Structure 1
Amino acid sequence: MRLMNFDIPDRLRELSTLLEVKKAEKNELNHYLSSMKHKIDEFEEELENLKKENRKKTADLNRTISLVSQNSQDSADISEEVSPMKLDDSRDPVLEKPSAIVTRLRSRNSIDLFDVSPLRNNKFATSTPIPQVEGKRQTRASKKVVEAPVATRGKARRGRGRRGAK
């Protein structure tokens, strides 16, 4: 038999040392596995906490959005309800400047209903009329006389291409 060729106590020692090495490796792997399980549990807890925080923040954000949309809806309702004619009948709103109307609305309601910046930068409010040459129209940009009839108001200006209803 082949076992006779080997020294049995030497082989037994080799196998016992190999067994001890394998047990040590197994213990290391079990320790590593338990530490990884512990880390996984910590990450899962952290993930749950982050999910809870995210839900809270999302709920707060949705509440804020609904409040803002509700406030904007309320301010739109107020701006529809309040007209310059209803505020004060003694003043003629046609003769009054738009900025004065906005100032009166602001002082009365203490709500910023309008943005006044377009009224301040209104280039048409104080524009000077373009000098007209009889039978010809002068453009503002080039200041040169264009061969075209003097434009009339209203429907007669429609359908004139570039010159359009200005």
Structure 2
Amino acid sequence: MDAILKTKMGKYYIQFSDNGLSLLSFDIPSKCINDGEKTIFAKDVQKQLDEYFTGKRKKFELLLDLKGTSFQMKVWKELSKISYGKTLSYGDISKKINLPKGARAIGGANNKNPLPIIIPCHRVIQSDGKLGGYAGGLVLKQQLLDLEQKNI
């Protein structure tokens, strides 16, 4: 199933199954099966995103239906542990998963994160403090980090 969600910080395309949310995308397809009536699950995703964007929600409570390699899953699990309002470098994450020289590999797994914002890859920055990349663009990444700093 899929839906388009409209929030104060833009539109998002989601895909989900009975098992949970599997995709949150910044790219809106020209054709979406459920662009009108939203399911209860899609409404809950919408509500939690709205709460996050207004600073009322610090952690998402959604069923997730993730698919990826075992390495990607390990990285995404570690990303989910980064506290609201905090940042870690790619190198920090690589050390946490016992891959000390794996910063580039962490970047690659970050890039494949199917649930940005929900799995907070925006909280991962370069070791020199620069933002690095972000699927939603660096402006949105900075906005998300600023939002969290403001609402700690």
Please say whether Structure 1 and Structure 2 have the same fold, judged by a TM-score greater than 0.5.
no
TM-score, length of structure 1 as denominator length: 0.17
Higher radius of gyration, 1 or 2: 1
Q: In proportion to residue count, which structure has more strand?
A: 2
- Greater relative contact order, per chain length (Cα 8 Å cut-off, separation 6+): 2
Q: In proportion to residue count, which structure has more helix?
A: 1
